[in-house]
A and B are shown apart, each in its own frame.
Chain A
């Protein structure tokens, strides 16, 4: 009799639980669609380090990976699209641009109290052309309240750029979305662009407006965020741009003669660009081109850390990349060095642990020690341990 009661009770509970059991979140689907971080060629990887939360965000395919500096666990967020083209941190949210078919949109997710799956901001899809590629730039390091979107539209056969424009989401202006185009960047085939933010509404944009990988770079400058002037220091191809507010210097990574053995990779920089009399300088050929700049304030105040890609065309045996230090203590004469004593005594350029890894993007984690870096490379994501001083692949 006791057993019968137990049986009936168990079956009743089971029935109730089964009725309430349809609350799945696609957990098997998520795991099944997870990709291994380190085994993927991450040439298209985008990542952001978020100053306020010490989080890393990495976009790969349609997923965003994120983790806190203090944790070794990567979490994953699935996004409503096929391919994420860009991410940027702004206004306590992570903005990301994602393409789905020939349509592209910008979404944002709040990160204040942990990474939420709620998507707060959604832009209108743009899909009138073949497809649209969106690139976001954030000026958080400069401390302002802007985020910039570069919209590139392709022809219906997806082979030709038909339009490229710049849009600004300006929190201080009260806008709640990206406004209309502030800069028409034309229909040039080379889509490499870069944005550097100065104090206030100062901003610089690089664009490459020819079919050549060794010329055609144009530098757009604005002081009010809407009116731009153009110049072309060196008339080379422009790879990356960064403004160091501590030293008031604008850094411009360039290259020329890319297609022949006399290729030259140059660092051009403009001293006192906002606070004094601007003057352009250059380092001359540095054998590799700088793919990205990253810098921090206090400890590395005299240095800018630059991710590099080696000159594999003219030096095919030299296939290593890594990072170098740009000594900006004298902004009229920047020197490049492989300093020790910084970034946990790493002398990384030409060392073995990033061999064959082209550093596409390099960020420093802005904690109080300033000695942690994270790099998106051709072999995946690498982080520099401040305790061991070693680069490790995620």
Chain B
């Protein structure tokens, strides 16, 4: 069977274009992952975003769950974090940041968390990663003359675009879970808020 010249040319071109990808598929599938994240690798990230109030759960049980977004306006948040990889997916480190938001009377509310951060990276492919975060630590909160230091737990899910082996662009949605145990137990509550952050992550 004789193949016509134009068709042969097209098939050759198609094979040439696909050949690198075919080559990748045929090589060790962990090769790229290992080249990006391996034990000892470290990351540094900077993020900024939108703080979104959610609700406050009254621990005394008298008021139940109350909408916090009716009392606090959306605000801003920002974080710096550092992590080191323990294996190709799991990393641990710390993060420091803060949020600000105004309330209904334009008084500012601030939270400054200092947390240990753990991350599990689900590597979709070379370019995209879905990191699952869990951070815990303390947060220093202030509102008007009030000041408190409370524990904080922040679970989060993200989506990273790995621009190259060093730089990633990140997006993250996190929940700020802050139990507050006041001396007056009727004022104890758990504040649950969230933020949507965008940032860049440097791998080294």
Interface, chain A (partner B; CB < 8 A): 3, 6-7, 10-11, 14, 17-18, 20-32, 34-37, 72-76, 115, 117
A10 and B182 form a contact (CB under 8 A): no
B149 and A18 form a contact (CB under 8 A): no
Listed residue (A6, A14, A35) with the most chain B CB atoms within 10 angstroms of its CB:
A14
Nearest-neighbour CB distance to chain A for B46, whole angstroms, equals 20
A17 and B137 form a contact (CB under 8 A): yes
Choose among A20, A26, A37 the residue that contacts B105 (Cβ–Cβ < 8 A). Answer: A37
- Look across to chain A and name the residue whose beta carbon is closest to the beta carbon of B136: A14
Choose among B63, B141, B144 the residue that contacts A75 (Cβ–Cβ < 8 A). Answer: B144
Choose among B115, B149, B187 the residue that contacts A20 (Cβ–Cβ < 8 A). Answer: B149
A52 to B144, CA, bound (A): 22
A72 contacts which chain B residues (CB < 8 A)?
Answer: 106
- Look across to chain B and name the residue whose beta carbon is closest to the beta carbon of A11: B116
A7 to B118, CA, bound (A): 10
Nearest-neighbour CB distance to chain A for B152, whole angstroms, equals 9
B138 and A21 form a contact (CB under 8 A): yes
Is B19 in the interface zone, CB < 8 Å from A?
no
- Look across to chain B and name the residue whose beta carbon is closest to the beta carbon of A117: B145
B40 contacts which chain A residues (CB < 8 A)?
Answer: 3
A34 contacts which chain B residues (CB < 8 A)?
Answer: 71, 103-105, 107
A31 to B104, CA, bound (A): 9
Is B21 in the interface zone, CB < 8 Å from A?
no
A28 touching B191 in the complex, CB below 8 Å, given contacts A36-B105, A76-B144? yes
A18 to B92, CA, bound (A): 18
A35 to B70, CA, bound (A): 10
A32 and B151 form a contact (CB under 8 A): no
B188 and A31 form a contact (CB under 8 A): no
B183 contacts which chain A residues (CB < 8 A)?
Answer: 24-25
Is B72 in the interface zone, CB < 8 Å from A?
yes
Nearest-neighbour CB distance to chain B for A351, whole angstroms, equals 26
B84 and A32 form a contact (CB under 8 A): no
A6 touching B182 in the complex, CB below 8 Å, given contacts A24-B150, A26-B188, A28-B56? no
Choose among B86, B136, B148, B191 the residue that contacts A25 (Cβ–Cβ < 8 A). Answer: B148
- Look across to chain A and name the residue whose beta carbon is closest to the beta carbon of B145: A75
A233 to B109, CA, bound (A): 54
